[in-house]
Amino acid sequence: MAVFRWDPPVSPNGVIEGYRVKSWLMAPEGEIHMNDSFMAGVETREYIARQLLHNATYFFEVQAFTVMGDGPITNPVRADLDVETPVPKLLLSTPDAIKVTDCDRHENQTLS
């Protein structure tokens, strides 16, 4: 599984209607395989790719769109499946509870 996250554009050209996520993979033999584009709603800022091939390298790009058209596409983000890069989380201990914070999403989950 690979989790690809993004932030909204700093200067959108109008009201964002949604996002288009593009992905492709480079197989160990060097072959490139394009995947279908994924359309995400305006509130969605995450794409989860499942059933990935081992020893392959995946690439992801995202592009916001408005009624005026598509915005610029991001630089490709590379995901090597032989290198694990977990989503950044922080363990917080307070006098009342222990929490896990998802740093990207700014969400807290109370463990106790």
**36-93 pLDDT per residue, tens:** 899 999 999 999 999 888 888 999 999 999 999 999 999 999 998 777 777 778 888 8
Per-residue tokens: 82:
């032989």
Per-residue tokens: 31:
């072959």
Residue that is written with structure tokens 């969605």 in the block? 44
Q: Do 74 and 62 meet the contact criterion of CB atoms below 8 Å apart?
A: yes
**15-27 pLDDT per residue, tens:** 999 999 999 999 8
Q: Do 2 and 23 meet the contact criterion of CB atoms below 8 Å apart?
A: no
Q: Between 1.10.3720.10, 2.60.40.10, 2.40.50.70, 3.40.50.720, what CATH number should domain 2-81 receive?
A: 2.60.40.10
Q: Does the model's pTM come out above 0.95?
A: no
List residues bridging with 104 in a β-sheet.
none
pLDDT value at position 89?
A: 81
Task: Give residue limits of the domains in the chain.
Answer: 2-81, 86-112
